[in-house]
Structure 1
Amino acid sequence: MKPEQFVQALKEKGINLSEKQIEQFSIYFQELVEWNQKVNLTAITDQEEVYVKHFYDCVTAAFYHDFNQEISICDIGAGAGFPSIPLKIVFPQLKVTIVDSLKKRITFLNHLATKLELSNVAFYHDRAENFGKNKTFRESFDIVTARAVARMSVLSELCLPLVKKNGVFIAMKGAQAKDELEVGKPAIELLGGEVEEIHTFSLPVEESERSIIIISKKRQTPKKYPRKAGLPNKEPIE
């Protein structure tokens, strides 16, 4: 997907990018490729692949949920800023918080935010388990997102404690989404969530399957979750 095809594809979905936004995506791509030589950010560095598999893929969340308001987003394990930075470029009014356990990635994101002239973004070098216990952030976000971080049973424990009541957790998944969701349902339920909807579609051009799972936060998460770092992955809630 060439940059101009990316712009056109979003236009067809009702998202019209300004010249500034188009330029921001261009800078994002250049910085990603440059920094990737010293920090492991992504295996995908070809321009057309980055535009479809990263930039377009991240913005698909906005096809199924309204990001047009002034809302707070927390992105868990964002790596090179996916999906929250592409969403922030498209919807500048968003208040974005990114949590990642690797200091080098946080350094890259701070640099990127400066280059893209983004305001209302905050980056935290922390484990999601510890961040979810922090009283300042716990149950305080309108939306919590995660893309390709862990399976649903684990991911729910990392993300749902951060979602405020009546907020949503949006998980962006590949082809295994439905199976993962089936296994993850007890964890979602226990942590105060309820599966609202699942949208499955193919990415344009390269046709790989994607799913967006939207989970509403109906009840408070029990205080004992998330458990200490490493435990959710080692012993997922069943």
Structure 2
Amino acid sequence: MKIKELLAAGTKELGLELTSKQIDAFMNYLDILQEWNQKMNLTAIDDSEEIVIKHFLDSLSSVSVMDLAGDEKMIDLGTGAGFPGIPLKIFYPKLDLTLLDSTKKKITFLKNLVRELNLKGIEFIHGRAEDYGQKSKYRGSYDVVIARAVAPLNILSEYAIPFLKPTGSFLAQKGAKVKEEVIEATRAIEVLGAEIYDVVSIDLPYSDAKRNLVIIDKVRETPLEYPRKAGTPNKEPISN
């Protein structure tokens, strides 16, 4: 199966449909990612089919269970090479998207990628989530926080929940061990002013990998002491 056909067929399996313009954007994304990946380590996955399945389709899989209007203010924490934020932006062009990563070279790549793909309405942050979650411009400002493969859920929740508006949702893409992570994160989520709304299992097309989307709704303000200073959530997670 050709790469374009793989992407189109995979998105249909997820209950989604891409326009020809969106498919072209993904193909350009693929080319740019592979070109830059030769110069710097952006992703361990470099095969075209694997990128389509494990990055593009995996990023889009969350859309099939997310109730989005498509114009939300969203921040992608630890975005790396742009996953899942950029695929979601391609699918929802009106998203007001912020991409945050602590590695400068990845932000440099993302700025070039966004320019090449002619995407608008994207802000880039080179920094730590713990620092920006305490800044008044960003704290309590987002409808949606999304993250993939960043940290265990009890740690990740402290990074993410402070960014949310009181009615916002945190969407964490997780693998097969989601039940254990949810149990370990229960108290942290409650302390941070949120509650688990649902855990949805997703079948990733053309893959045996187990994917789960944890949907966490913010229900009250996060206490001002969270997030704690950079490095602390990882060293001393909020425990049960």
Give the TM-score of the pair, scaled to structure 1.
0.97
The aligned residue for residue 138 of structure 2 is: 137
The aligned residue for residue 54 of structure 1 is: 55
Cα deviation, residue 14, structure 1? 3.9
Query: What is the aligned-residue identity percentage?
Result: 47
The aligned residue for residue 209 of structure 2 is: 208
Q: Secondary structure at the match of 1:199?
A: strand
Cα deviation, residue 87, structure 1? 0.4
Q: Secondary structure at the match of 1:60?
A: helix
Distance 1:87 1:3 in 2: 18
For residue 229 of structure 1, what is the amino acid of its counterpart? A
Distance 1:30 1:192 in 2: 41
The aligned residue for residue 195 of structure 2 is: 194
Which consecutive segments of 4 or more residues in structure 1 shift more than 4 A? none
> Across the two proteins, how many residue pairs are aligned to each other?
238
Return 5+ residue gaps in structure 2 as ranges: none
Distance 2:12 2:157 in 1: 32
Distance 2:129 2:102 in 1: 8
The aligned residue for residue 168 of structure 2 is: 167
**Deviation by residue 1:193-227 (Cα, 9 ceiling, x = unmatched):** 10000011332212110110000000100000000
The aligned residue for residue 179 of structure 1 is: 180
User: Mean Cα displacement is larger for which, 103-112 or 7-16?
Assistant: 7-16
Distance 1:9 1:230 in 2: 38
Q: Does the CA contact (< 8 Å) of 1:194 and 1:217 recur in 2?
A: yes
The aligned residue for residue 224 of structure 1 is: 225
Cα deviation, residue 12, structure 1? 4.2
**Deviation by residue 1:4-54 (Cα, 9 ceiling, x = unmatched):** 122123234442211211111001011111111222111001011100100
User: Mean Cα displacement is larger for which, 160-169 or 31-40?
Assistant: 31-40
For residue 72 of structure 2, what is the amino acid of its counterpart? I
Q: Does the CA contact (< 8 Å) of 1:156 and 1:188 recur in 2?
A: yes
Distance 2:10 2:110 in 1: 26
The aligned residue for residue 113 of structure 2 is: 112
Q: Secondary structure at the match of 2:90?
A: helix
The aligned residue for residue 41 of structure 2 is: 40
Distance 1:176 1:69 in 2: 30
The aligned residue for residue 81 of structure 2 is: 80
**Deviation by residue 1:158-196 (Cα, 9 ceiling, x = unmatched):** 000001111100000111111111001100000011000
Distance 1:156 1:42 in 2: 24
Distance 1:171 1:82 in 2: 12
For residue 22 of structure 1, what is the amino acid of its counterpart? I
Q: Does the CA contact (< 8 Å) of 1:73 and 1:141 recur in 2?
A: yes
Over the aligned positions, Cα root-mean-square deviation in angstroms equals 1.1
For residue 185 of structure 1, what is the amino acid of its counterpart? T
Q: Does the CA contact (< 8 Å) of 2:15 and 2:64 recur in 1?
A: no
